[in-house]
Amino acid sequence: MAKAKRADNSDWKASQPKVRSTANMRAWAKSNPNYKANAAKAESETRKEPTTMTRANTPERKKMVKKWQEARPVSGKGKSKTDSDKAERRAKMVDWAKWNPNRGSNARRARKK
């Protein structure tokens, strides 16, 4: 698969909706010029990781997602006192987020649109 070229999305970031309803934010996020490129990257990364062996929108997947959510690292403003602690907390959160059981199926669905 060829690497997708990422577009400058500065104008898109500046156009963030003032009213932040779920529908507004979802529509805004899908209008990102890098939407498909981001999905392609997520899809290729999830191919390397072990699969969940569950199908989307099933009770088994819901249980797996709940288990994943419960394993979320502690985060929040004021928790870290030093820059190195902040960097460590961020790295843990990023690593945790990569294991979202729905990440691969979400990426495949985004690439189809």
Is the full-model pTM beyond 0.75? no
Section 71-97 average pLDDT = 86
Domain boundaries, the chain: 20-112
Q: Which residues contact 67 (CB under 8 A, 6 or more apart)?
A: none
Cα–Cα–Cα angle for 111, 109, 36, rounded to 5 degrees = 25
Concatenating the DSSP letter of every residue in 16-46 gives --SS--HHHHHHHHHT-TTHHHHHHHHHHHH
Mean pLDDT of the chain: 83
